[in-house]
Amino acid sequence: MTPTPQSALAAADATSSSALPPTASRYAALGQPFHQPVQPTPLPEPALLHFNTAVADTLGLADVGALLGPLSGNAPWPGYAPLASVYAGHQFGVFVPQLGDGRALMIAELHDREGRRQELQLKGAGRTPYSRGADGRAVLRSSIREYLCSEAMHAVGIATTRCLSLVGSPQPVVRETMETAAVVCRVAPSFVRFGHFEFFYHRGLHEHLPALADHVIAEHFPHLLEIAEPTQRYAAWLREVVARTALMAAQWQGVGFCHGVMNTDNFSILGLTIDYGPFGFLDAFQWDHICNHSDDGGRYAYGRQPQIAHWNCGRLLQAAVPLLGEDMDAAVELARDIYHGYGPAFSDTAARLWADKLGLKDIREGDAELMERLLALMHDSHCDFTNSFRKLAQIPSTAPSGDTGLRNDVLDIAAWDAWVADYQARLQSEGNTDDAARAAAMNRVNPKYVLRNHLAQAAIAKAEAGDMGEIDVLMKLLSRPYDEQPDMAAYAAPPPEEMRHIEVSCSS
C-alpha cells in the first residue's frame, strides 16, 4: 500500500473500461425520489495519494492506472450514472427535514470476490442538490482521518465502511483555514441510513417506505424473505437493525471509540460505523469525554453513546410505523416492543465484551460492579484507556500484583489493591489460573494500537508537506492492532503533553 506516483498514472488511460468490473445496479434501480443523477465536479490535477490494496483485492480491482479517473470524479465508471441519495435526520436532537448526500456520490455498485454487492461512493466530489450551499468538497485533513480510521475499525472487528483510495488535489478549499481538496472512495454493502426512512415518513410519503425497506431486506437480510407476511417480515428486520446497532454501540465503548456526531443521518441501516468526522479514540479515560468541540452540550460524549444509539433506534422505528400494519395503535405497540429490545441486546453484548476484556471465562453476578469499579479508578486517575486494558493482562491470578501495570498509574493505591484482590478472587472462582493463556486471550481483544488523534495529525502534517509515508506506516500498523510489533512500540504511547488537546470539529 504505497503511494502511486502521479506520473505513472498520468500515462495510464484513466477512462479505460477493460480493467473495471461491470456494475450491478440495484440501489440505482430504485430511481427517483430516492436519489438523483449527479455528475461529479472535476478535480484539478488529481493525484492518487494512497490506494488500499486489501480492499481493492476484495473487489477484484488490479489496474490502478485505470482507476484514477473514476476515483477522482474526473471520469465515469463504465456503465454507471453517478447518483446522490436524499435523506433527512435528527442532528443534535433536532429534526432536519432534508439532508442527503451533499458531497457524496455513488459511482458504482460491484460484486466482490465472494459475490456480495458493494457500493462505491466518492466523498468530496463536488456539489449535489443536497449540498445546502456548501462546496461539496472534502479536505485532505479529514479525508486522511477517514481513510485511516475506517481501516483501523475494520481491523478490530467493528463493522464499518471502508476506503479504497485517497486522491488529492492542489485545489484550495476554505474551512477554518485554507486547505487543499481530497476525495476518498468509500466502500460498503449499503449507504442507506436511518435518515432515509425519516425523510419519507416525515414528508408524508409513506407509500415509498415499502420499496426502500424491501430493497434493504432483499439485498442485505435475504433470510427474512422466507417470512411471507409483510408486517412480520418488517418487524423481524427492524429487530435485527436494532440488535446490530446495539452491537455497534457496545463495541465502540469497548475500544474507547467516540463517534462525535451520532445524528440519525449518520447511522447505518446495517449497523456499520459510518461518516468519520470529528471522531476520536480515548487517551486519558473520562466518562464525559467529548471528542467534537462543536458538541457544546456533550450530547455525544463517550458515556452517552449507548443511550443515544438507543434514542436513534426510536427515531427509525417512528419512521417505520407505517410498515408495521394498518392498525396504528397495534403498529405503535409493535414498534415500542422492538424498541425495548435494544436494552437486552446491548447489555448482553456489553457484558460478554467487558468479560472478555477482563479475561473472564463466564459471566456472573457482580461482574458489572467489578468492571464499574475499574473504570471509576481509571476515570479518577485519567488512565490511558487502551494501555490500561493491555496492562491488566500482567496481573497474576494468585500472587501479589506488585508495582507492575496499572498500579503505577492510579491515584488511589488502596482502592486499586482492593480491586486487584477481588479480581484475583473472581479469576480463582472459575479456575482461571493459567496466567499465560489468560493474558494471550486478553491481548486478542484489547488492542495495543488505535488511531490516536496525535498519530493521525502527524500523518496529516507530513501529507500536507507532500510525504505520504506516514499514512503507509499507520495503515500497516493498524492492520495488526493486537500484535505487539516491538519496533512500533512508540505508537502505543499516550500523546505528548502538547498534543493531548487536539480539537476536532464537524468540518473534519
Q: What residues are labeled active site?
A: 265
Q: Are 282 and 378 in contact (CB under 8 A)?
A: no
Q: How many residues would you count in the chain?
A: 508
Placement of cell 443521518 in the chain: 265
Q: Is 252 helix (H, G, I), strand (E, B) or coil?
A: helix
> Which DSSP helix (H) or strand (E) runs through 378?
helix 367-381
CB count, 10 Å around CB of 208?
17
Residues in contact with 30: Cβ distance below 8 Å, sequence separation at least 6, in sequence order: 211, 212, 215
Placement of cell 415500542 in the chain: 336
**First vs last C-alpha separation in the chain:** 24
Rounded-to-10 torsion of CA 179, 181, 182, 188:
100
Q: Are 385 and 286 in contact (CB under 8 A)?
A: no
Q: Pick from 275, 271, 272, 308: which is nearest to 102 by CA?
A: 275
Q: DSSP state, 106?
A: E
Q: Pick from 310, 430, 450: which is nearest to 358 by CA?
A: 430
